[in-house]
Homo-oligomer: A and B are copies of this chain.
Amino acid sequence: MTPQQIIEGIHQGKLRALAKAITLIESQRPEDQQRAAAILEELLPRTGRSLRIGISGVPGAGKSTFIEAFGMYLLQQGKKVAVLAVDPSSQISGGSILGDKTRMELLSRETNAFIRPSPSGDTLGGVARKTRESMLLCEAYGFDVIIVETVGVGQSETAVAAMVDFFLLLQLPNAGDELQGIKKGVMEIADGILINKADGDNRPRAELAGRQIENALHIMKPKSANWQVPVHLVSALKKEGMGTVWQMLETYREAMSETGEFEEKRRRQAVDWMWSTVMESLKYSFHHHPKVAALLPQIQQSVAEGVTTPGMAAKRLLETFKRH
């Protein structure tokens, strides 16, 4: 398919054209990347109309069960749903999240749903960029809701939070000591928290966990004066609470749109994204500069051992980089 055919296919609602465009975005080949850029540029005016939701949670929190249950709920409401993923470990582990279609068996069979596994890449930045651009294509195609899942490896939550409107954190119904394990900084980027598996015997523990998290949130400065991060109890397995989750998202969109924060966040995200792309590329050029790379091991060690100050080491590396 030519770029023009792909663009027309996406206009006409052909899933095959969308899948092909995403394949171009994920490709490492320069000519594919050029075609991907042309397609994206052309479709850009049609983007921006979906609600972008990021979802994370510790392994075992029930992310795929939740996405399936929530996705099916949205389809019932007449929405079109795309599910993407950012998994920087997919290269190493072999099995990327969402790679296994059987994980969301019901959803993957629906015509108004689109599930795409995490792209691979050598850096988190690369993986995240591909997902973000795929998200824009899904928007141009006409999906109403885009869910971006992450396994929470390294800084992947931050990367996902930087591309979505609402970042949702799934927690297990553990309380007290067992609750320990909320990764540093993750609770602070969440716009909403769900205690999943809040069913049967788990219910009282889920309620306790919910109160503890509410208390912790209480002493932290809110991200926006107009939004208090809610904590809700759900059961993805029993399909309970999906309406509450959707209502929370609608309330958020309304409240933030009213104050202009919704659009402002997207504008800021786009500019931040540009800068992190620039900085990542500069870092890459620096690390892969032959003379710098040759100097690095020795200079890093001498800094670690306190023989050279970080300032002097940085100066030497920068001079090497700029000279050659």
- Mark A residues whose CB is within 8 Å of B: 37, 40-41, 44-45, 47-48, 129, 132-133, 136, 176-177, 179-185, 187-188, 212-213, 215-216, 218-223, 266-268, 270-271, 273-275, 277-279, 281-283, 286, 299-300, 303-315, 317-318
Contacts and interface: CB of A to CB of B under 8 A. Distances in A.
Q: Is the interface of A mostly helix, strand, loop or mixed?
A: helix
Contacts of A318: 278, 281-282
A309 B40 contact: yes
Task: Give the number of times this chain occurs in the complex, counting copies.
Answer: 2
A303 B282 contact: no
Contact of A271 (B181, B307, B310): B310
A303 B129 contact: no
Contacts of A312: 37, 40-41
Given A40-B309, A221-B183, A283 B274 contact: no
A219 B271 contact: no
Contacts of A187: 220
B310 A273 contact: yes
Contact of A215 (B37, B216, B313): B216
Contact of A218 (B176, B218, B273): B176
